[in-house]
Structure 1
Amino acid sequence: GNRHVTTTTHHATPIMMSQTPAPTYMQPPPVTQAYPRISGANGSHQPTYFENPTAHATYQHGWPQTLLNQSQISARQAVPKDLPPFSGQAEEWPIFIASYENSTAICGYSAEENLLRLQKALKGKALEAVRYRLLHPANLEGAIATLRTLFGRPEVIVHNMIAKIRRLPRPTEQRFETLIDFGVAVQNMCATIGAAGLDDYMCNVALLQELVDKLPPTIKLKWAFHKQSLPRATLTDFGIWLEIVVSAVSAVTLPTSEVNDDDGRQRQPTRQRTAKHFVYTHTSQEPTPTSSECVVCKDAGCVPPVCKRFREMSVNERWTVVKSHQLCKICLMQHAGRQCSPVRCGIDGCTFAHHRYLHDTKKQRPATKTCNVHQLDDEPGEDGNLESTTAVCHVHQIDDQQVLLRYVPVVVTANGKSIETYAFLDDGSSATFIDKSLAAELGAKGKPRPMCLKWTDDRNREEPDAEELTLHISGVEPTARQYVLRKVYTLSQLELPPQSVSSVELAKRYKHLQGHTIVSYKDVRPRLLIGMDNCYLGHPLDCAEGRVGEPAAFKTRLGWIIHGPYSPMSNKHRFVTAHHALHVCECEKENDEAITETIDRYMAIESLGVSPKPGTTLSRDEERAITLLTRETRLVGNHYETGLLWRFDDVRLPCNRVMALRRDACLRRKMSKDPTLAASIRATMRGYEAKGYIRRLTKEEVNAKGPRDWYLPIFPVVNPNKPGKVRMVFDAAAEVNGVSLNKCLLTGPDQLSSLPTVLHRFREHSIAVVGDIREMFFQVKMKAEDQRSQMFYWSGEDTNAAPDVYALTVMTFGAACSPSAAQYVKNTNADRFVELYPKAVNCIKELHYVDDMLARVDTEKEAIKLCDEVKYIHAQGGFEITNWLSNSDRVISHLQE
């Protein structure tokens, strides 16, 4: 039968969790599992490790809680007691807390036992955060809560996973393993987002587009076809589809197994790589005679290097023999050319890899003005001469070890666009350079700055199309600070060498590199070179050094960098590392930058408003904006109606009601503290509602949900020059989870007239007339569908009542697309009357700056006629021009009638 449970010491069955007296009997704590957050019909969802701060069992610390049942006894034999190490890295948190909670529930660990497990598992920052809470079991819950607060926040974990995906190499169809790595990383990210309940991330259109852009063109096209079958594509849909792609690719990709070295360490299987080595040496190698007959004289025991007939041939004839009989160009023997070590010719300084009998002194090509690197496996040209292969730097081979250069992952920002890439901190360069292709991707434009680059051996390279840029740069960490990168010059081809770093491998081999946040990367080529002019970014703030001949790690303002020599795991295949020393060269030209800048400013001022406006090519975003304006803009009654200029067709906005309500509460508190301001705000909002600029939504409209629903926070702006007048700003730049309305909108093309041109023309004639359009933006109606993206909360007269939901029915000041759309509507309305009133149309399109008219004519009669025509044209589009001013009393009295 069942054994009797007792606390006496001579029975072996009961196992106490503590030796203290007065045991308390309890049921074992429930097992908490980490399921993805799945909402049920009633809105409930499964608990997750991210959100439940009391998921672990609660104990009366210092006292035994329960006797172990049979299943817990068995579990202790099978389940490892030790927890996985946790050093404070966000990506380590889910597996750590899951192991802690599951093992506690399954094995029935007491608070004392859990305290010991935590003391052993926690490392680094995590241990420092709760070190003094691990002294007594009563602090266990507080320690776990602190760890959860500092390191278990789901948004930080997701951000780190996104940053990890950005650091992955771009997937290619030539290397399926890169596509598999990318797909697995995306699936893990989607699973983490689902488990954390961060539903807003699933609808992040910008993140989805960024992930799609990394795919190869053919696979991207397949996603486009699949996307058409979806009502609305989300990250969840992308992850599911990518899982199918990865499964198919894995079926035709052989996994890379690991092989043990003699010392027991694991390494990747050796692959034969065809690498081009660049060597500058002065050596020679004598041929080894063979017993076969000579291919030239057919005598046995003779070989081409000593054959008299071969030496009497011309160089071209010798090359013909080498090519026709497939002789080695190094030793002139019949075997594969790779069996001979590459040796330079050496005659007259020739650095080509061939036998000296193949050197043609007469036809040797002169050195070019670019920096040449001669490859040792060059093939002869049609004329028998070797064709040189040019590159952008001198490269030297290192025979016995690899040298890691100072590569660091960074985020480069310009024009509001950020791209993650790698930078090379080069102490041998006097300037900072960026690859022209990266500058084009950022849309960065700067001042033309032709230059010449100078390498060793007095070799120069011209860059006539170089530009000087100013960029912003930061590390890849989510909290990294952004720095200004000045005087960055574009190069047509930066061509830095690829480099790989495995932080795991280096940490295993070198103890001084353990515990530092070093990013791993594979075959990356930096597209940015930071020279000594921005050397503050590379100054070491902290360091970890080992012995001589070992790599060192330095913490810089851009993150941790590992560099220096280290011996590869296998010496069978050595690496070639290149060091680029770039210096800006004057090339015997007098170039005084101060004088040049002074002349540039002088010429710019002198030509201001005089030189014709250069023709500009519209960007892809500007072309899309014009297409949307043309399609959406129409005349409805006496006013024009248009829509928002969405950046993508399938934009889906996250819910931002909580943020909008919080901002509304702040506004109401501000109004309660300042009655005068509150009265002005209410008067302004009443005027907006009376004019039809805003409207209160019905209950049915509020309950209806749309993919682009967005609430605009509102706040007042007071002009000190106009006391008592308040303008309400609808904040379209407010963000939720990194998404704002303005980020999803296009700014549209710049359609404003040149202000200097308008001012110059305003001085040409004797009669001046000035006016401005009343509330220009508010005269353009917003289509009903896009009004749901301009909703806002307003409590009306009673600030203590629950706020109502309103919607803007017109264009707003805060939207990024409003200035361009307003100019488009103004000009489109004027074009309707170009045949009837050509001068007035020209005045509206060329002599208006935003909503101000500045015109000048010769006579008062012309001024009166022009103003009447302009007023009429504006009225036909719903605009009213007011506040007339003129230097003629007759014109003023006519306009005020």
Structure 2
Amino acid sequence: MRTANPKNPKNALRLIWQRLQDRYGSPELVEAALKSKLDKFPFVSLCDGKKLYELADLLTEIAAVKEDPIYSTLLAYFDSSSGILPILRKLPLNIQEKWITRAAVFKRQSGQPHPPFKFFVDFMMEMSQIRNDPALCLQERKKENVQHKVINRKTDLEANNNEKHQERFDPSKRCPIHLKDFHALNKCRTFRCKPMKERTDMLVKHGICFKCCNSAEHFSRNCNENVTCSVCASNSHPSALHVDYKSPQGGEKRRESESKTIVNNKCSQICGVIPGGKSCSKTVLVKVYTRENPDNFVKTYALIDDQSNCSLAKSELFDMLNVNSEIRDYQLQTCSGVKTMSSRIAKNLIVASMDGSTEHLMPPIVECDEIPNNRNEIATPAVARKFLHLSEIACHIPELDPQAKILLLIGRDLIVAHHVLDQRISHDAPYAQKLSLGWTIIGETCLNKAHLPAKVSVNKTYLHERGRPSILLPCNNSLTVKVPHIDQDELSSVFERTPYDDRPGPSQEDSIFLNIMESEFYRSSDGEWTAPLPFKPGRPRLPNNYSQAVKRARNLDSTLRKNPKKMDHALTFMEGILSKGHAEIAPPLQSNEECWYLPSFAIYHPKKPDKIRMVFDSSAVHDGLSLNSVLLSGPDLTNNLLGVLLRFRKERIAVMADIEQMFYCFRVAKKHQNYLRFLWYRNNDPSEKLI
């Protein structure tokens, strides 16, 4: 800038400041920098008062920036739970409990839905001052050095300085670290604990194939092996090159002593190469097919879960069996909360054992992609053979099928699948149960419980037909009273009957919904009704779910191409939508512009087999959010059925009409059209690409 303006230093200085502002001072960059500082801030332990001070200073900085009108909109989410909860999770449990109590008192006294960020900053400053007060800090008791007997195995690392050590060896029998021990490189836990840079350098040094890590006779470009990581079951890398993305709590680097402990630990034979041990659950290999087409079956693993009151299946199973059914709303309640979802319901499905000896007609199965997919919990014959009381059933347990996925969860609604026909038990050891679909092994299968699993899976599922989400048990008996304003002197009219006694009163969200519609719902000059999307106040920003929409669109494309008749019906439906102007090609997005893509799928009406309907799924969840989750549902304004029937009988002639594609006739406000994007064939031609 200075060189370009040698005769005008004032203009050069102005341009320099402008460039610095664009590169380092724009609101988006400031927000990203503050958010990055919070994400990288380590977890604060109970005794780390200095870290608490540093966190309080960082929050004070954010509060100061937030007061600037330029940044107030971008940082407004700190005034809600979505902005404060990630910070709260970095604090000790006792401080979290204090904040919950403090926030509850504030909400009760002020009537606001959540304490503002300034209130949280003041709370953190108070906690940091208390934790750093020398008069209130308790000194830690010095731990006595108790000498424990430690058995170490010597690990020899050869220098490989001489040329005689550069000769190739077989990595399937020996790893380059433990040259004197005979175990494969993919089974060496010491090698997998090293940083990725050291591992790749060692592979290059010894000429080992990067794809399979099982041979020094070829390179990755000539490798024909089908690799599968035994840790995460991925087909993209071998076990030796698995990367554990879980960093130590707080982001600290591992100490050398901890790294050595991991190197010296020797896993028992039954663990194989699974870090953290192996725990088996009730998982069986089954065949699933429709009653009409038993030859088209899908081999899958099924979870036998008595904590679920309904059977679930992933979307992939629905697509494999070409299940087209009605769409129903339900609530999925787990330990992480309650989600309202809308999915397909499959009926007349058969689940059978692998030997074909048992078949069960499944109750209606709900489509749900939240089924846990932990393949490490699947029992194998090797597990059974390692225990004396289970060895006799090893022949009845199939080997791990790498092609079969966990696509089905059988709940209590198929109770016959939970009946225990036989069992093998022992004291303080895993046990086996014979179910109608096969044998299962339950429990920790590492010898002497030497390793504990890194993840704990607890699944408790409830399904409700409808209703607002709540962690409390809903009451079946409710009373809504709506009467005119009552003065203090008119106590005699407290129990006065009104026409509204049997009608539910509107909630706060219903009132907000009606206010939005009254102010922004209008009829244009050409007679078209235009409405906004009723977003919830203080909603979180929606992530860009383009990747999810592309995946769903490709699955739909694959399904339609397998069924030409269904493809023609879908194209006919979309042609009507496009020709009537109900949809148009979306304009390109601006930088950092908020948007949402609606995945679509096709369903048939039970009474109209040749007429298809494309459903745009606004309940699809991405990163914990869906379009429905940030929209107000609004009050139920449909006419009372009793009133409809009475008016129907009032006169001699009654007229009933139906508006074709009524909901598509409503226009969406232009500012909200970006939230209704979807993918379809260009020019409605399946030979062209999806746009």
Query: Which TM-score tier does this pair reach, normalised by the shorter chain?
Result: 0.3 to 0.5
- TM-score with structure 2 setting the length: 0.35
The structure, 1 or 2, with the larger RCO (C-alpha pairs under 8 Å, 6+ apart) is 2
Larger radius of gyration: 1
